Chains A and B, each alone.
Chain A
Amino acid sequence: MIFTYLAKRLRRHPSEAIVSAAIVLVIVVFLIGLHAARDDLLADMDRAYDTIEIRCRVTSADNSRDYSLPITEDYVKMLTEEGGELYPYVKDVFLLETYGNATVLPIDTPPENYYGAPGMDVELHMTNDPESYTVKEGAEYVYKDGYSAADFAGTEPVCMISHLLEPMVGEDGTVIVRVSQGTIAMKMKVIGVYADENNTVFGAWQPLVDLIATLNWKPNVGSMAFTISDNRKLDVAKAILRDYYVPASKLNNDSVQLGLVVDDSLFVDTITVYERSLSLLNVVQTLVYVLSIGISFLVAYLNIRTRKLELAVMRSLGTRSVALYTEVLCEHALFFLIGGILATVGVMLFGMMPGAEQMKTIGTFMLCYLLGVAIAVAQATSGKIMQTLKGKE
């Protein structure tokens, strides 16, 4: 009975349905759009979290003296060994030791003459990533075909030399490097050249460490570079780091502490922008939510107010108020569905696919809308039927 009455009303007085459905349509499109914008933003933010590299560098900073403090073994272990406090937060740890003076020998020097033979004095840096240490502004590393910085992390004795040393390279592409005050030497494969007027040789970390280990020497790490492995844990990592290092910005002129530079400014700037947009969007979303509930309540209320007499007549003929609520709620649920479905189809035509999250939002909106309708019915029928019925006299 309710439904036949409803259908008749709809057919004879469709404007009510059209207005309600149109308002729902606009609001639902808005809600889906906002949701989509938010999802896009979150995805971008995720991408920023995943792709922006935060490089950190530990340097021995001492501005008043001209020697550098070595980074102790404990520091290195903390970052590089399983169980180290920072180990879970970092990746791509690069080490560099300024080994000091070494000599590049002429390529035809026989091994028995390595000790004591004259050569060209160079500065040797042991590292597993020369690119963490720029030689000089504008001096680019040029790798030979098939080689890259990654080879420095391996076990092959490879090196990168200044172009000044190129005449010392043999036909097999190697140079002979003598280390440790002339006591031992090894052949290193030249895999790259950089153009600068100094004669520093960058040698692969592991083979050189192994070499000096034969003399019972340990490498002294002069500087370290690493990347935060999971940017979402940056704050945790930073909190731990702070206990060990003084941020570079806080170093005094006469400081003898180690300096840590966490180069997160790009990351922080990016994320800050996203977070600001996100919180703005959240505010807008809440506002739209509140507004839409308000508007739908108003629409329902005005709509039902025009039917106050009709509802009173129904009550006077003995219609139960439960039936009255059912009828009006069904009617408005129908309007909502029409508007909601049209809106959904509409946004899908524009290529947006409302997901479960959006559906939940729309569902909540629908409940609020129907609550508005119910309150409006309660309001409309709260007066005495008798006085409403006499109203037209």
Chain B
Amino acid sequence: MENTGNKRDILTAERVTYAYKTRHQIVYAVRDVSYTFKSGTVYAIVGKSGCGKTTLISTLAGLDLPTMGKVIFDGKSTMELDRDIYRRRDVAVIYQNYNLFPLLTVMENVLYPMQLQRRPKKEARALAAETLRSVGLDESYWKRLPAMLSGGEQQRVAIARAIASGQRVILADEPTGNLDGENSDLVMKTFQRLAHEEGYCVIIVTHDPQIADDSDTVIRMDSGKIVS
């Protein structure tokens, strides 16, 4: 495995516990997880369904604060950070269920985070176009609404939206779940390039052994804990 680019600690989970509290019960989805993610690395998180993978990366993404413990980005806890800015500038999430804007076209969906970052229009458009092409979506797709795309195509739009806007940490929840082998490869290559050439930290939740094999580090989870 090639390892260019310098690796440094970028994102740390420090004794992170996350509990879903419902009216009748408390579900501990993540229990006491400590781990340090480095830049320039592709991580794969694997584990049985329901073991807490989505919950862990959501906490890492600053969508919520951990119930106990800390998530530390660049030396600062997400508790102290302005989490709006953190999500806008530092982390990108690819959701298991895509979470595209149903009333925005493919192009507009990809542009949205860049508009939030106040990037110049032209630059943003060029970047979005390039990224969409890199995941195999040519111009004929750009003006469609998500409802007019297949599951795999939607997934690739979600990937493009996450990587076009340039956050250094990419959290991907089963990004290849709906992709064929060829597209899956294409996406994985993109992640590897981002990590190895540009120093991104890419964390992929996956059930696909091939993706796990192609990652630099595999993290196994079981019942909310990291087991290896």
**Which residues on A are within 8 Å of B, measured CB to CB?**
1, 5, 8-9, 12-13, 309-310, 312-313, 315-321, 384-387, 389-390, 392-393
Contacts and interface: CB of A to CB of B under 8 A. Distances in A.
Query: 4 smallest A-B Cβ distances: which pairs?
Result: A318-B88, A318-B87, A386-B63, A386-B64
Contact of A310 (B63, B64, B88, B101): B101
A313 B116 contact: no
Contacts of A309: 99
Contacts of B64: 384-386
Most buried by B among A309, A321, A386, A392: A386
Given A8-B108, A385-B63, A389-B99, A320 B84 contact: yes
Contact of B97 (A310, A385, A392): A392
B61 interface: yes
Contacts of A392: 97, 99
Contacts of A321: 84
Contact of A313 (B61, B84, B99, B145): B99
A317 B113 contact: yes
A317 B54 contact: no
Contacts of B115: 1
Given A9-B103, A310-B101, A387-B20, A317 B108 contact: no
Contact of A316 (B55, B93, B97, B103): B93
B89 A12 contact: no
A13 B64 CA distance: 31
Given A389-B95, A390-B54, A319 B84 contact: yes
Contacts of A5: 104
Most buried by B among A312, A319, A385, A390: A390
Contacts of B20: 387
A14 B152 CA distance: 29
A318 B58 contact: no
B61 A316 contact: yes
A347 B127 CA distance: 52
Interface in B84-132: 84-89, 93, 95-97, 99-104, 108, 112-113, 115-116
A375 to B, nearest CB: 22
Interface string B54-91: 11001101011000000000000000000011111100
Interface in B126-161: 145
A12 B147 CA distance: 13
Nearest to B98: A392
Contacts of A318: 84-89, 113, 116
